[in-house]
Structure 1
Amino acid sequence: MARYHIETYGCTSNRGESRAIESALRDAGHYRVEEPEEADVAIMNTCTVVEKTERNMLRRAKELEEETADLIITGCMALAQGEEFHEEDVDAQILHWDDVPSAVTNGECPTPGPGTEPVLDGVVGILPIARGCMSNCSYCITKFATGRVDSPPVEENVEKARALVHAGAKEIRITGQDTGVYGWDKGDRKLPELLDRICSEIEGDFRVRLGMANPGGIHGIHEELVEVFDRHDKLYNFIHLPVQSGSDTVLEAMRRQHRVDKFVEIVETFDETLDYWTLSTDFIVGFPTETEADHEQSMALFREVRPEKVNVTRFSKRPGTDAADMKGLGGTVKKERSKEMSELKMDIVAEAYESMIGETHRVMVVREGTGDSVKCRDEAYRQIIVQNASEHGIEPGDFLDVEVTSHQTVYAFGKPV
């Protein structure tokens, strides 16, 4: 769990984005502190209205860099003129608003609040299906808060999902510290059965997104799981498999429950079965034992599997974890490796979204965006922005067909067909 400090500059839209970031961070068990010196990570949501504002943003970014362990910069200036921060040698991650919560976690499992009760947020229903995990990663503090996995019965989670749909949910997000090990504590992994029953037994027009599933938990049920994906249109063709490293040596030091070949086998199975899907994964850069050769193996794996959504996180120590006692790498090394991987990430993600231009996709409107726009998700959970929403009478919860007209690296723009 991380202590975060957040500063927001600019318009009402930016303040709304910061509220969404904070909501996700609180759901994951992180908590806010008022002073950057007290924080594990500082988040700066920037504005870029005039030149004076830009100078102020650069000045404050350099101050925050000196005051906190890690700095994340997002918002309008970061997305439009991110290179200016690099030119000023500001040591920070430049991220889209949507990518900030995942980057804060340092590769750890998400940590929801007490219990596993569902939450309805607009048209999005959040359904924690279990609490705890089966892993013992050397860098993760979450296990101290959550313990081993405790899985409610499938029927109980199906009924919670049904209640969310009846309450107005159009998207159900299946969450947990590790959704892949759901049911393991009862002697059998039940994730494929749960997803199948939610999609087949609950009436209504809604979509289901599967949350983070570690490769070690998914391997062994991945063939059964991908058949469920292939069978149900209600299930987004999206899976979040955090690999964390392309080096088996580093994975062993991390005490991850998978090796690279198992991760690749899962990806290949999804590739062979689904024509259009999104792979999301995480990489921790600069783990204490990571050599230059280990980093190159991670880069090679990145190029091989070409994930469309990636969280690149520079390793930072969590108190009480075994990795906190390891002799760490220098900040410059982590910064350079992170920069190299982040640049590759942007190239691959941009390529994925560019390939969509001219295609028509069925989307669900998830929430309002900036100005008169809405944020939508297509069949593979890729983000498509529809502008001038009020002119078309579009609002959250609607389903529509859109033609992709352009993209801006990490999302696409579309117009209703």
Structure 2
Amino acid sequence: MEKIIDENIQGQALSLDKKEGNTRKLFIESYGCQMNFSDSEIVASILAKEGFNTTQNLEDADLVLVNTCSIREKAELTVRKRLEKYNAVKRINPKMKVGVLGCMAERLKSKFLEEEKIVDLVVGPDAYKDLPNLIEEVDAGRNAVNVILSKEETYGDISPVRLQSNGVSAFVSITRGCDNMCTFCVVPFTRGRERSRDPQSIMEEIDDLASKSFKEITLLGQNVDSYLWYGGGLKKDFEKASEFQKATAVNFAKLLDMVAEKYPKIRLRFTTSNPQDMTLDVIEVMAKHKNICKYIHLPIQSGSDRILKEMNRLHTREEYFELIDNIKKLIPDCAISQDIITGFPTETEEDHQDTLSLMEYVKYEYGFMFAYSERPGTLAARKLEDDVPEATKKRRLNEIITAQRNHSTYRHEAFIGKTVEILIEKESKKSDAHWSGRNTQNIVAVFPKGDYKIGDFVMVRIDECTSATLLGEAIGYSDNN
């Protein structure tokens, strides 16, 4: 639930330039959070060396892969429908092989392979380097599976092929896995223990992106605030590290500072944060550097201390307020967004009102709001009865969405009359005469194209807004070009 899921890119078939000499065709599409899309770039890079070029035509594919998500039931249902479609095509093209990657693969391996016999290949999120061997198995007519979770794998040595890129912004993974055992979340079981990537390999990847003129980079992880490099190993084993390792360790604040210092012209973002792990030094580094965006995605899930405890969130409502106050004190113009789950088991009307009052206090810029749905394999599914009626969940969710819409409008109206820096990312969905981009607070702005182009930093005067978008007029380039 803590991973942002962009509904606009779900199920996109990925495409990259053809590599001379490659003869096999790969069709790969992704569902779920940005980590899955980032992982698909790693998979495409590995398979490009194995003779595969991507295709966007399913019927032509030798190998069809779907990168899956177990976070929401809707994502699983969508993937199952896609597998039915793949298998219908497979009946026409028997040489086609079908594989499932990612979180759902790890959780449903035996069901896919043995019970339903709908795939040839099942690969968990830590086993992508084994794909060449697994494909050999499949080519020989055998089913292949590797869902072993690793304590070391970070894919730091693989340069991802930028499949989703607009050439302007890119994601760089810095951690894998998660140690926070939130009762509603399946991530620790599908992606394993938390481990951090060598900062040198992170800097090398950003060097490469800088040389290709990327303008914005998002440091990515299930929980970026937990980043901790002390020469390799799991975060939970840091207490066993040597004194030298502890003295030379790099935490998230240090990494963020290093990147911001070295690349002053590149905009930096990061996601996702966990309130219990976000420390004051991260906020101080954000305040120190102009190129670190003034935006934090800070999931709360519930405003009720009792429900937070049931969720095994290791912070209280008051601790969250203290964090918000520190952010606003050190970075007054910082935008904050949320994840909220309503209708969690045992949630009362009083708990729900606690969530609404917390939203009123923070007044988030925007949020990702869901009614609770039981996910198999989670602690909540094993130990808590899903006892809030669907009608109650729906009503509470509507109240939360209404509150958020009001707060978004309130936040956006504060920009009217101001001039803000926008990085142009793409054409507006609604008009080919307008550009679309985001400001430092991660809010989308739309304005007439003029002579500007994708990748330009432009100063835009905001004239009006909706609850989702700022609307304005470009008045010139910013000094960041």
* TM-score, normalised via structure 1 length: 0.72
**Cα deviation code 1:9-40 (max 9, x no counterpart):** xxxxx9x897499756364449689xxxx955
**Pick aligned residue for 1:168 from 201, 213, 222:** 213
Equivalent-residue separation in structure 2 for 1:112 and 1:356 (angstroms): 41
Cα gap change, 1:128/1:137 in structure 2, threshold over 3 Å: closer, same or farther? Answer: same
Counterpart code for 1:382: I
Counterpart code for 1:262: E
Per the alignment, residue 321 of structure 1 pairs with: 378
Matched, 1:139 2:199: no
Equivalent-residue separation in structure 1 for 2:236 and 2:380 (angstroms): 27
Per the alignment, residue 271 of structure 2 pairs with: 211
**Pick aligned residue for 1:228 from 275, 285, 291:** 285
Matched, 1:280 2:280: no
Matched, 1:248 2:255: no
Counterpart mapping for 1:88-99 below 5 A = none
Cα gap change, 1:298/1:210 in structure 2, threshold over 3 Å: closer, same or farther? Answer: same
Identify unmatched segments of 5+ residues in structure 2: 15-28, 38-65, 82-123, 129-153, 229-234, 239-248, 476-481
**How far off its partner does 1:186 sit?**
6.6
- Which is worse superposed, 165-174 or 365-374? 365-374
Counterpart mapping for 1:295-314 below 5 A = 295-314=352-371
Cα gap change, 1:344/1:145 in structure 2, threshold over 3 Å: closer, same or farther? Answer: same
Per the alignment, residue 344 of structure 1 pairs with: 403
**How far off its partner does 1:155 sit?**
2.6
Equivalent-residue separation in structure 1 for 2:209 and 2:420 (angstroms): 26
Equivalent-residue separation in structure 1 for 2:34 and 2:361 (angstroms): 33
Look at both structures and tell me which one has the larger radius of gyration over its CA atoms: 2
Identify unmatched segments of 5+ residues in structure 1: 8-13, 44-66, 68-110
SS state of the match for residue 435, structure 2? strand
SS state of the match for residue 358, structure 1? coil
**Cα deviation code 1:214-256 (max 9, x no counterpart):** 11111xx2x2111111111111001111010111111111111
Equivalent-residue separation in structure 1 for 2:426 and 2:161 (angstroms): 16
**How far off its partner does 1:397 sit?**
1.0
**Cα deviation code 1:189-234 (max 9, x no counterpart):** 711111111111136x22011111111111xx2x211111111111
SS state of the match for residue 195, structure 2? coil
Equivalent-residue separation in structure 2 for 1:411 and 1:347 (angstroms): 13
Per the alignment, residue 355 of structure 1 pairs with: 414
Equivalent-residue separation in structure 2 for 1:333 and 1:277 (angstroms): 34
The answer to whether the 8 Å contact 2:35/2:220 transfers is: no
Cα gap change, 1:285/1:208 in structure 2, threshold over 3 Å: closer, same or farther? Answer: same
**How far off its partner does 1:112 sit?**
7.5
Per the alignment, residue 194 of structure 1 pairs with: 255
SS state of the match for residue 269, structure 2? strand
Counterpart code for 2:415: M
SS state of the match for residue 374, structure 1? strand
**Cα deviation code 1:273-325 (max 9, x no counterpart):** 11211001111000012111111111111101111121111111111112124
The answer to whether the 8 Å contact 1:118/1:125 transfers is: no
SS state of the match for residue 403, structure 1? strand
SS state of the match for residue 312, structure 1? strand
> Matched residues, percent identical?
27
Matched, 1:410 2:468: yes
Counterpart code for 2:210: V
Equivalent-residue separation in structure 2 for 1:41 and 1:336 (angstroms): 25
Equivalent-residue separation in structure 2 for 1:386 and 1:119 (angstroms): 31
**Cα deviation code 1:94-133 (max 9, x no counterpart):** xxxxxxxxxxxxxxxxx97855455631211110101011
Counterpart mapping for 1:25-36 below 5 A = 25=32, 27-29=34-36
Counterpart code for 2:195: D
Equivalent-residue separation in structure 2 for 1:324 and 1:330 (angstroms): 16
Alignment: residue pair count: 329
Cα gap change, 1:273/1:382 in structure 2, threshold over 3 Å: closer, same or farther? Answer: same
Equivalent-residue separation in structure 2 for 1:20 and 1:356 (angstroms): 37
Counterpart code for 2:193: R
Counterpart mapping for 1:97-176 below 5 A = 115-116=154-155, 118=160, 120=162, 121-122=165-166, 123-176=168-221
The answer to whether the 8 Å contact 1:384/1:412 transfers is: yes
Cα gap change, 1:394/1:186 in structure 2, threshold over 3 Å: closer, same or farther? Answer: farther
Cα gap change, 1:148/1:189 in structure 2, threshold over 3 Å: closer, same or farther? Answer: farther
Equivalent-residue separation in structure 1 for 2:13 and 2:355 (angstroms): 31
Cα gap change, 1:343/1:143 in structure 2, threshold over 3 Å: closer, same or farther? Answer: same
**How far off its partner does 1:167 sit?**
2.1
The answer to whether the 8 Å contact 1:130/1:152 transfers is: yes
Equivalent-residue separation in structure 2 for 1:240 and 1:254 (angstroms): 19
Q: CA RMSD of the aligned region, Å?
A: 2.9
Equivalent-residue separation in structure 1 for 2:13 and 2:321 (angstroms): 33
**How far off its partner does 1:154 sit?**
2.3
- Which is worse superposed, 245-254 or 115-124? 115-124
SS state of the match for residue 181, structure 2? coil
**Cα deviation code 1:45-88 (max 9, x no counterpart):** xxxxxxxxxxxxxxxxxxxxxx9xxxxxxxxxxxxxxxxxxxxx
**How far off its partner does 1:379 sit?**
2.2
SS state of the match for residue 400, structure 1? strand
**How far off its partner does 1:395 sit?**
2.2
Counterpart code for 1:181: S
* TM-score, normalised via structure 2 length: 0.63
